[in-house]
Structure 1
Amino acid sequence: MSTESKIRVQKLRSELAKQGLSGFIVPHADEYQNEYLPACAERLAWLTGFTGSAGTAVVLVDQAVVFVDGRYVLQVRNQIDLEIFDPQHISEISIKEWLHSVLKRGDKLGYDPWLHTPKDLKSLREGCARIKAELVPCQPNPIDIIWSDRPESPRARVIPHSIRYAGQSSEEKRRDLAKGLKEDRIDVAVLTAPDSIAWLFNIRGGDVSHTPLPLSFACLRSDESAMLFLDSQKVSAELRDHLGPGVHVVPGEEFRHTLEHLGRDRCRVLCDPQRTASFIFDQLEKYGAEIVEGKDPCILPKARKNSVEVEGSREAHIRDGAAVCDFLAWLAAEAPLGKLTEVAVQDYLDACREQQALWKDQSFPTISAAGSNGAIVHYRATEASNRALAPGCLYLVDSGGQYLDGTTDITRTVAIGTPTQEQRDCYTRVLKGHIALATAVFPKGTTGTQLDTLARQPLWEVGLDYDHGTGHGVGSYLGVHEGPQRIAKAPSTVALEKGMIVSNEPGYYKAGEFGIRLENLVLAVSTPSFGQSDREWLAFETLTVVPFDRTLINCSLLTSKEIDWVNTYHDRVRVTLSPLVQSRTKTWLDDATKGLL
C-alpha cells in the first residue's frame, strides 16, 4: 500500500494543481453521511490505506495529515505510510486548529459539498477565514477523477420489512411525522439518512456491508405523501405494492430537480444540518426555498423502540447468546491445544451465528484480537496480522448479528490459560464499571454524558481510563451504531428515553500487551419512583445473555452487591440458554455460570 499511496497522493496533487487548489479534504463519508460506506465511497481508504469507520485526511502541496479519534490511534499508524501522512489525534488538535497553523493567506482548500454537512463546513470555514484562505467546493470530486478503477455504485434490491418485525406501519409513521410538520408550518422534510428512510418506509436494502441500508433520498410532505428516490434497478413490483399509493417512487437522478422545484415553489423545507450534505442546502438556497434547520424527524421515534421491536430484540439476543456460548464452549476446549488463530476463531464464531433463526448477516466485521492486538480498539484480523491464541494472553472478541427481529453487539474478553494478577485486576475494574452502569437508576431527562463516569470510576481510582465512548445506540435490524443517544464523555443534550437500546462497554487497553472490553446491550425501561418524587425514573434491562470469564474476576475487588449482580446475571444466562445450546455447551455453561464466592 505504501507505493500505491505515494502514487495516488502524487496524482491527487497534480489534479489539484490543474484546478488551482492548494489542498483537498478527504473525509470518511458519502453523500448520505453514513458511518459504513459502499466500496465506491471509500475514498479515504483508497488514498491513505486507513480503513477505520471515522477519519479525515487533508492533503496539501507539501504535507498530508490523517485525523482520527481515540479508537484508531494505533490502527492508523499500522495502516498509513508515515513518510507521506502524519497521523493526528482529533482530541489533541482539531482540523480547524491545524488548518489555521499551516494554511497561508490566499490558499484555496477544496472540498466535496456532498461529503460534508453545513455543521462540518462551519468549523472548516472558520479555520480558513482566520488566515484569509478560501474553502472551495469541488464538483466532481478530484479523487473520483484519478480513481480509474473505482467500483460501481451498489444497486441491491430494496425489500419490504414486515410489520411483524417493525411493529408499526409506514402509513402510521408518516401520519405521525406529517402532523408535526404541519404544526410547525413545514411543507416538506428532506430525508437523507438511509437508516431513517429504512425505518420510515419499513424497507431494508443491501447497499452497505453488514447494515441493511437502502441508499436513497426521500421527501416527506405535511399532507403525509412522500417521494422516495431510488435507482430503478432497486425497485420491484412487490416494493411498490408495499409502499402503496401514498409514496411516489422516483428515479434517483431526479432528486436534484426536486430540490430545484422545492426552491422555485418557495417551500419551507426541514433539513438536518448535522446529517444532510451541504450540497443539498446549497441547492435549496440557490433556488429560493426557505430552509428550516432542525433534527431529522425520524431520529427520535426510530430510537424509541416500540413493544414489538423490544420483544424482537429480546428474542434476537437469546438466539445470539446461544450462538456465542456455543462458540465460547468450543474455544475453551480448543484453545489449550495451541492451534487456534484469530482468523480461524473469528470464522468459527461467524458460522455459529449463521445457524440461528432469522439471521441475515454480521452486524459489523468481527473483531478477533489476541494479546497486544486487543489493545487496538477496532482491530481487524488479516492474514498478515493473524496471531495465535497463545497461553497467557487475553483474547478479545467484539461481534454482533443482524436478525430480522433485532441487531446485536457483544464483547467478551477471555483468558487463554492462566491470567496474570494485573490482567485479573484490570478486568475486574472494567467489570465493576459495567455493573455500575447496568444497575444505574436515573430520572427522566438524564443524558448519557451524566452516566458515563459511573463506568469509568473504578478505573480512575487507579489512574486508568479508556479512549472511547461507553455506549452507543443500536437499531432494530438496522445500524449497530444508531443515534442520537450515546453514553460518552463528549457532551450530549439527548436524554435517554424508555425504549432506547444502548451499549454498555467500558474497557481498558495496555498498548503492546492486551485489551479488555466487556459489552452488553441494555434497554432503557421505566422503574418505580423514589420516595416523594413524582418524576419518571428509568433503569436498564440487560438484553445480552452470555457469561463473563470467571477466571478473570478478582472477587476481592468486588462488593457483595456486585457479586450478587454477577451471580444473578449468570443464573439468568444458564436458565435461559441451557435448552438452546449444544450438549457440550451446556456442560461448559454450567461451569461458566457457577456462583462467585
Structure 2
Amino acid sequence: MLMNTHEARLDALRKELKSRGLDGFVIPISDEHMSEYVGAYAQRLAWLTGFGGSAGSAVVLTDATREPAAAMFTDGRYTIQVREQVDPRLYSYESIPQTSIAQWLAEHAPEGAAIGYDAWLHGSRWTEVADKAIAAKGGKLVAVEGNPIDAVWDDQPAPSPAPALVHGDVFAGRSSEAKRAMVAEWLAEKKLDATVITALDSIAWLLNIRGTDVVHTPVALSYVIAHSDGTADLFIAEEKVTPELRQHLGNAVSILPREGFVSGLECLAGKRVSLDPDNAVAAIFHALNHAGAEIVEARDPVILPKAIKNPVEQQGHRDAQERDGAAVSRFLHWLDKAAPKGGVTELSAAARLLGFREMSADLRDTSFNTISGAGPHAALPHYAVSEESDLELAPNSVYLVDSGGQYPAGTTDITRTVWIGPGEPGAEVKDRFTRVLKGHIALDTAIFPKNTAGSQLDVLARHALWQAGVDYAHGTGHGVGSFLGVHEGPQRISKAGSGQPGTDQVLLPGMILSNEPGYYKAGEYGIRIENLVLVVEREIPGSEGDYYGFETLTFVPIERRLVDTSLLTKAEVTWWNAYHAKVRALIAPQLEGAALDWLEAQCAPL
C-alpha cells in the first residue's frame, strides 16, 4: 500500500527518532516564546499530522507496532476538526483535560522509555510533570539537540526576515524609555538585577516596536533582557534591524544577534533574575541554572501595565472600532441581500468580509482566522472553515461570524449572529438569541466595586440562559491588546478564576475585554453576540467607595429579526435603542447609498 503524505512524514520522523535512540517524541503547537499564534516555520504539528487548529499536541512512539503508537491531544473546541483533518489510522484521539500527555505516556510508553522533547517549545512546569510520569515507569524525558521534525522537514520555511517596525508614540501613548524605567523600578523593589522577557507581545509593548513575523499578531521574533538600571538587551536577527529601529531604541537598548541569546543568559551568572514560568520555555530555565543565576519566578512585569491602556491607546481603540464597524456593517448589508439568493458559502462570506476591511488603508492583518459558521457549524464556538468543510448559507438558517482586524490604532474582535431569510426565524431560536442578548446587556451595563474580578461578573451574562435551563461552555470575555494579541491576559470574564494560580485578577480602569455570551445547539445552530468594552470609573452620587463600569467600544447593528421583544424589559429596550443610535451616529457618515439605507433601517428604535 502506498503511504499518504502524513503517513510518510510520520514514518520519516520515526526513523529519525530511532537514529537518536529515542522511544518517542512530543510535538506541541508552540514556538520559542510560547505564543498563541506561531510563524510558518514553527507549524510542526500541522506539517506532521494535518491538524490546522491553534491549540493541540501529539505524541509519537518510535515503535509503530505498539497500539496506540501515536496520539493527538485537543480540547473540546476541536473535537470535530481533529477528526476531519487527522488520520485515525495513524493517531488515536485524546481529549484534554480528561487525558494529559503525561498520563498517556505513563500508560502507553514502553518501560524505561527515553521520550524526547524540544526544551525550546515546552514550559518548565510541563517538563516537571511529564518527567515524573515517565520516571514512574523507569523512563526519562530527554531534551533533544535540534528538533527531529526539523531534520526531516525538507521544505520547512525559514523564520520571517521581515524588518521590525517602530510603533510611534502617537499610537503607543508612552515612550519606551518610560516603560523601561517602570520595569527598572519594579526590579529594584524586588531586589532583582534583571528580568528575561520572552513573550513577543510584551517585548513589542516594552520597546514600542511591532512586526509581521506571526500571522494575526503584529510582533517581531526577539528576546529581551531588561536590567535594573533601565537599559535592555534586544536579541533579534540582524536582517530585521533598520536604521529607523536603531534610532528609535537609542543607546540604552543594546541590539544583539538573536543567536546570541543563550550567551546573554550566561552573562547573568550570579545575578538575581526574574522569569515568568507561564511564558518562558524550559530551555531558558536550563540556561540560567547552568550559568549559575538565581532564578526568581514572577509574573512578567510588562503584562499588567500592557493590559491597562493609557488614554492614547483607549482613543486609538475607539478610532479603530469606527473604521472596523463600517467594514462589518457594509458586509452585513451585502450578506442581507446576497445570502437569501443562494450561492454564498462560509469561505466566500469570510473572503467578502476581508474585502470590506481591506477598503481601509489602515488594516494590517486580521486579528485571528475568521470564524464563519453556517447552520450546524455555528454551533461549534471555535469552528475553522476549510475547503473540505465549506457549507452554503442556507435560506432560513442562522449564520455566525466572529472576526477582527489589526490596525495601528487598535485591535478589534466582533461576533454577529444573523438570520438568513427570506422566511422568519422560529420561536426557539428567537428565545435563545434574546436570552443571549439579555446577558450581553446585563454585562455591558454592570456597575461593580473596585477589586471586583471578572469571574464575579460572569453570572450576569448567563442568568437569562440559566432561567431556561441552558448555558454555554466557554468564557464570557477575554482581554484584548492594543495593536497586539487579540487574546491578552491577565484579565478575563469567566466562571473560572484568572491571573496567577490561586488568584483572580481584578478588573482595572483601562483594561479592554470582550463581552460575548452565547448559546449552541449541537447540529443545528449557534448564537454569539460580541462587543469589546473598556473598564472605566463610574461616578455615583453618594457612593461609598470606588466603582467601575464598562464603556462600549464596538458599534455594529445587532440582528433585530432574532429578537423576541416580549422577553425584554423596558430598560433593555432603552439600551438597544441607545446603542443603535450610537451605531448610526458613528457609522452612518462612513456609508452611502443602499448600505446607508440598510443601516438606517437596522438602527430604527425597537
Matched residue of 1:386: which SS? coil
Matched residue of 1:88: which SS? strand
Q: 1:47: how far off?
A: 1.3
The one of 555, 564, 574 equivalent to 1:564 is 574
The one of 285, 292, 303 equivalent to 1:281 is 285
Letter in structure 2 aligned against 1:320: D
Give the structure 2 partner of residue 317 of structure 1.
321
Deviations 1:373-428 (A, max 9, x none): 22232223333322221101211111111111111000101010132222222222
Give the structure 2 partner of residue 388 of structure 1.
392
User: Is there any run of 5+ residues in structure 2 with no aligned partner, and where?
Assistant: 499-503
Letter in structure 2 aligned against 1:73: T
**Contact 2:73–2:101 (CA<8 Å) still a contact in 1?**
yes
Query: In the alignment, is residue 589 of structure 1 matched against residue 589 of structure 2?
Result: no
The one of 316, 336, 341 equivalent to 1:337 is 341
5 Å matches for 1:250-329?
Answer: 250-263=256-269, 266-329=270-333
CA separation in 2, counterparts of 1:343 and 1:426? Answer: 26
Q: Tell me whether 459-468 or 383-392 shows the greater mean CA deviation.
A: 459-468
**Contact 1:206–1:213 (CA<8 Å) still a contact in 2?**
yes
CA separation in 1, counterparts of 2:332 and 2:3? Answer: 38
Give the structure 1 partner of residue 547 of structure 2.
537
Give the structure 2 partner of residue 244 of structure 1.
250
Change (3 A) 1:462 1:84: farther
The one of 351, 354, 358 equivalent to 1:350 is 354
**Contact 2:81–2:384 (CA<8 Å) still a contact in 1?**
no
Matched pairs, number: 593
Q: Tell me whether 365-374 or 514-523 shows the greater mean CA deviation.
A: 365-374
Q: 1:92: how far off?
A: 2.4
Query: In the alignment, is residue 511 of structure 1 matched against residue 511 of structure 2?
Result: no
Letter in structure 1 aligned against 2:105: L
The one of 135, 148, 153 equivalent to 2:159 is 153
Q: Tell me whether 520-529 or 495-504 shows the greater mean CA deviation.
A: 520-529
Q: 1:122: how far off?
A: 2.8
**Contact 1:104–1:132 (CA<8 Å) still a contact in 2?**
no
Give the structure 2 partner of residue 485 of structure 1.
491
Matched residue of 1:359: which SS? coil
Change (3 A) 1:320 1:248: same
Q: 1:164: how far off?
A: 0.3
CA separation in 2, counterparts of 1:379 and 1:96? Answer: 27
Q: 1:571: how far off?
A: 1.6
Matched residue of 1:262: which SS? coil
Deviations 1:466-505 (A, max 9, x none): 2322211111111111111122233322221110111111
Change (3 A) 1:551 1:150: same
Give the structure 2 partner of residue 195 of structure 1.
201
The one of 399, 406, 413 equivalent to 2:410 is 406
Give the structure 1 partner of residue 501 of structure 2.
none
Give the structure 1 partner of residue 210 of structure 2.
204
User: Once superposed, which parts of structure 1, at least 4 consecutive aligned residues long, lie more than 6 Å away?
Assistant: none
Q: 1:45: how far off?
A: 0.9
Q: TM-score, normalised by structure 1?
A: 0.96
Matched residue of 2:418: which SS? strand
**Contact 2:372–2:384 (CA<8 Å) still a contact in 1?**
yes
**Contact 2:325–2:587 (CA<8 Å) still a contact in 1?**
yes
Letter in structure 2 aligned against 1:553: V
Q: 1:46: how far off?
A: 1.1
Q: 1:54: how far off?
A: 1.1
Change (3 A) 1:478 1:375: same
Give the structure 2 partner of residue 118 of structure 1.
124
Give the structure 1 partner of residue 53 of structure 2.
52
Change (3 A) 1:309 1:142: same
Deviations 1:326-374 (A, max 9, x none): 1111111222221322222222211111122522221122222211222
Q: 1:590: how far off?
A: 1.5
Q: 1:2: how far off?
A: 8.8
Matched residue of 1:398: which SS? strand
Q: Tell me whether 47-56 or 36-45 shows the greater mean CA deviation.
A: 47-56
Q: TM-score, normalised by structure 2?
A: 0.94
**Contact 1:395–1:414 (CA<8 Å) still a contact in 2?**
yes
Q: 1:531: how far off?
A: 5.5
**Contact 1:71–1:467 (CA<8 Å) still a contact in 2?**
no
CA separation in 1, counterparts of 2:3 and 2:394? Answer: 31
Q: 1:290: how far off?
A: 0.7
Q: Tell me whether 127-136 or 339-348 shows the greater mean CA deviation.
A: 127-136
**Contact 2:317–2:409 (CA<8 Å) still a contact in 1?**
yes
Give the structure 1 partner of residue 506 of structure 2.
495
Query: In the alignment, is residue 452 of structure 1 matched against residue 458 of structure 2?
Result: yes
Query: In the alignment, is residue 37 of structure 1 matched against residue 38 of structure 2?
Result: yes
**Alignment RMSD:** 1.8
Deviations 1:425-478 (A, max 9, x none): 222222222222212222222222222232223323333232322211111111
Q: 1:556: how far off?
A: 2.3
Give the structure 2 partner of residue 92 of structure 1.
98
CA separation in 2, counterparts of 1:2 and 1:486? Answer: 45
Letter in structure 2 aligned against 1:174: R
CA separation in 1, counterparts of 2:367 and 2:543? Answer: 43
Matched residue of 2:590: which SS? coil
CA separation in 2, counterparts of 1:461 and 1:11? Answer: 55
Q: Tell me whether 76-85 or 411-420 shows the greater mean CA deviation.
A: 76-85
Give the structure 2 partner of residue 547 of structure 1.
557
Give the structure 1 partner of residue 587 of structure 2.
577
Deviations 1:200-251 (A, max 9, x none): 1111111011211101001111011111111111011111011111111111
Letter in structure 1 aligned against 2:157: P
CA separation in 2, counterparts of 1:517 and 1:262? Answer: 49
CA separation in 2, counterparts of 1:450 and 1:293? Answer: 28
Letter in structure 1 aligned against 2:85: Q
**Contact 1:2–1:81 (CA<8 Å) still a contact in 2?**
no
CA separation in 2, counterparts of 1:10 and 1:457? Answer: 52
CA separation in 2, counterparts of 1:463 and 1:594? Answer: 32
Change (3 A) 1:369 1:31: same
